[in-house]
Amino acid sequence: MSLYVDADACPVKDECLRAAGRLGIQTFLVCNGGLRPSAHPLVQVVFVTQGPDEADRWIADRAGKGDVVVTADIPLAAKAVAAGALVLKHDGEALTPANIGNALATRDLMADLRAADPFRQGGGRMFTRQDRARFAAALDRALRAAAR
């Protein structure tokens, strides 16, 4: 079992590292750069070549049954779910075979809406302490489920 973290712009890296260390799980932080290597023997920082989907490709090529993937990238999540991995978004929501189709459709709809209105402004809400706690609890549940 391994934990794969799509680490570029991931707001919950610290929570992932704490849970993995506590449970003794091999962890891969996959990114295009900008992270320091970890001294922890179970944590490997993987630097992929520059490119918008290289980190996603690296994770998708390796994640499978019994693994946990943390990502906000819905196409990567779909590949990981299809491979049998447990997938969590940064807010702790699990992406599963039952809901990944809806997540992909919503992603595509939102992309179309943004393309239709280039002046549309806005962004996500602030990431709160409660969001971190919700994610940490969901990650613990997912890691324990994957270990079974």
pTM confidence score: 0.86
Centroid of chain to Cα 86: 10
**CATH number for domain 2-147, candidates 3.30.519, 3.30.2320, 3.40.50, 2.30.30:** 3.40.50
> In this predicted structure, what is the pLDDT of residue 134?
94
Phi-psi region of 51 (alpha: psi -120 to 50; beta: other; left: phi over 0): left
From first to last of the 148 residues of the chain, give the pLDDT tens digit: 999 999 988 999 999 999 989 999 999 999 988 888 888 899 999 999 877 789 999 999 999 999 999 998 999 999 999 999 999 999 999 999 998 877 877 766 766 666 777 776 666 678 889 999 999 999 999 998 888 7
Q: What are phi and psi of 77, to 5 degrees?
A: -60, -40
Per DSSP, helices labelled H in the chain are 13-23, 54-62, 74-82, 100-116, 129-147
Residues near 74 by Cβ (< 8 Å), separated by ≥ 6? 95, 100, 103, 104, 107
> In this predicted structure, what is the pLDDT of residue 111?
66
Q: What are phi and psi of 128, to 5 degrees?
A: -100, 170
> In this predicted structure, what is the pLDDT of residue 141?
93
> In this predicted structure, what is the pLDDT of residue 35?
84
> In this predicted structure, what is the pLDDT of residue 121?
64
